[in-house]
């Protein structure tokens, strides 16, 4: 049995040895030693911290605001953008704020105009309140597929539309995808136009959407996305319309029973940058950011289309799904023709003509 004396001797021996190796508390210092830094080379540590803090000091934080949550393909795209930019330069620290933490779409656009927020990626529909030509994307039943959307948005028409936002102190950098919108509600299955009668439907803050649902017999109300779930939960509205990924990944099936495959309009997301912040960046920095916005946009579109299929299958398990027949789709289209005619002049006859001509090339 080891005696106290021997223990004491042992203890004394141990302390002495450790001290000999350059200080007990430096147990981590073993790392320092292992690492390139040991006590007599403390300098690098300090300068390393200095260099790290210098980088952080010089780094500019770019905040991205989106309305959907961190399960959505738009959030995945935003994280891809962060990864791409931060892999190419130390100049920026990208922070992603989902679920409207900073602001809803419309307020976020206004913050970009004042330079109090750097980036937002909203649906194009709220942007119509700032650039009326964007109403072309709200004309129902125009774009027939994601592939056609790509051709139109990645072509000269898409470039022209991106340039148009500069008049509003915004920089349009890329097209991402929200997708084809479908109706949900908590009152009854909707399989034909007449089933819409009197349904209180939430729409985005957009006159064309309001007029279209009114023309179809529903009772639409405009509302920010951030208020939508609570409004459905409290019965303030009976229903809403969004792409399948948003419906599933925002858990709308918890407060909605019926899903109809209306596919009534394709909504792009637009990657917007604050012009006042943009003008402070170097051309090299601008190139890194715009290239990353385009590349992350391509990633987002692919992910969004995969998610649209996965989400529809999942939603069929939670909700009563109604397919809309081609004949009924035709009736929907005919019913809202007056709305398209009415808004052609608001949007601008020329740009509407250009858009429809561009579509005809591909569908
Ligand atoms: O992040 C985008 C959302 O804020 C919003 O655009 C989603 O489509 C949408 C809606 O219905 O408001």
Would you state the pLDDT for residue 58? 77
Would you state the pLDDT for residue 30? 43
Per residue in 20-64, pLDDT tens? 544 444 444 444 444 444 444 445 555 666 666 666 667 999 999
Q: Is the pLDDT of residue 258 over 80?
A: yes
Closest atom, ligand 1, to C-alpha of 226 = 4
Residue of the CA atom closest to atom 10 of ligand 1: 225
Please state, in angstroms and rounded to a whole number, the distance separating the CA atoms of residues 345 and 136: 11
Site to probe by mutation for ligand 1, drawn from 204, 244, 270 as the one with most ligand atoms within 8 Å of Cβ, is 204
- Residue 119 in contact with residue 274, Cβ under 8 Å? yes
Would you state the pLDDT for residue 243? 98
Residue of the CA atom closest to atom 2 of ligand 1: 67
Would you state the pLDDT for residue 23? 46
Q: Please, which pLDDT band fits residue 15 given cuts at 50, 70 and 90? A: low
Pocket of ligand 1 (CB under 6 A): 66-68, 74, 105, 122-123, 178, 204, 225, 242, 267
Closest atom, ligand 1, to C-alpha of 74 = 1
Burial class (CB in 10 A: 0-12, 13-18, 19+), 115: middle
- Does the model's pTM come out above 0.75? yes
Please state, in angstroms and rounded to a whole number, the distance separating the CA atoms of residues 279 and 118: 12
Per residue in 302-342, pLDDT tens? 999 999 999 999 999 999 999 999 999 999 999 999 999 99
Site to probe by mutation for ligand 1, drawn from 64, 65, 66, 68 as the one with most ligand atoms within 8 Å of Cβ, is 68
CA 121 to ligand 1 center in whole angstroms: 9
């Amino acid at each position: 049995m080891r005696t106290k004396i021997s223990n004491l001797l042992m203890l004394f021996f141990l302390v002495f040895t450790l001290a000999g190796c350059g200080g007990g508390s430096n147990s981590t210092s073993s790392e320092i030693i292992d690492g390139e830094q040991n006590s007599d080379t403390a300098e690098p540590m300090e300068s390393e911290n200095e260099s790290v803090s210098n980088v952080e000091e010089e780094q500019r934080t770019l905040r991205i605001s989106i309305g959907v949550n961190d399960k959505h393909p738009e959030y995945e795209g935003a994280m891809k953008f962060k990864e791409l930019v931060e892999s190419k330069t130390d100049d920026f620290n990208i922070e992603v704020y989902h679920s409207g933490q900073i602001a809803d779409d419309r307020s976020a656009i206004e913050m970009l105009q004042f330079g109090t927020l750097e980036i937002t990626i909203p649906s194009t529909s709220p942007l119509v309140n700032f650039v009326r030509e964007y109403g072309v994307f709200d004309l129902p039943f125009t774009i027939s597929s994601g592939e056609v959307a790509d051709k139109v948005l990645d072509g000269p028409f898409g470039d022209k539309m991106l340039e148009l936002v500069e008049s509003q102190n915004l920089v349009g950098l890329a097209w991402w995808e929200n997708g084809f919108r479908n109706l949900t509600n908590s009152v009854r299955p909707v399989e034909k136009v007449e089933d819409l009668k009197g349904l209180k439907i939430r729409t985005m803050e957009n006159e064309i959407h309001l007029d279209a649902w009114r023309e179809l017999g529903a009772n639409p109300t405009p509302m920010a996305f951030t208020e939508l779930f609570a409004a459905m939960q409290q019965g303030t509205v009976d229903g809403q319309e969004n792409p399948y990924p948003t419906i599933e990944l925002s858990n709308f099936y918890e407060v909605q029973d019926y899903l109809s495959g209306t596919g009534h309009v394709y909504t792009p997301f637009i990657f917007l940058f604050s012009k006042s912040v943009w003008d402070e960046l170097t051309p090299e920095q601008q190139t890194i950011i715009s290239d990353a916005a385009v590349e992350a946009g391509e990633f987002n579109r692919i992910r969004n289309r995969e998610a649209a299929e996965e989400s529809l299958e999942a939603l069929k398990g939670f909700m009563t799904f109604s397919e809309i027949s081609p004949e009924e789709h035709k009736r929907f289209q005919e019913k809202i023709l007056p709305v398209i005619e009415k808004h052609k002049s608001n949007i601008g006859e020329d740009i509407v003509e250009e858009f429809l001509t561009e579509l005809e090339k591909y569908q």
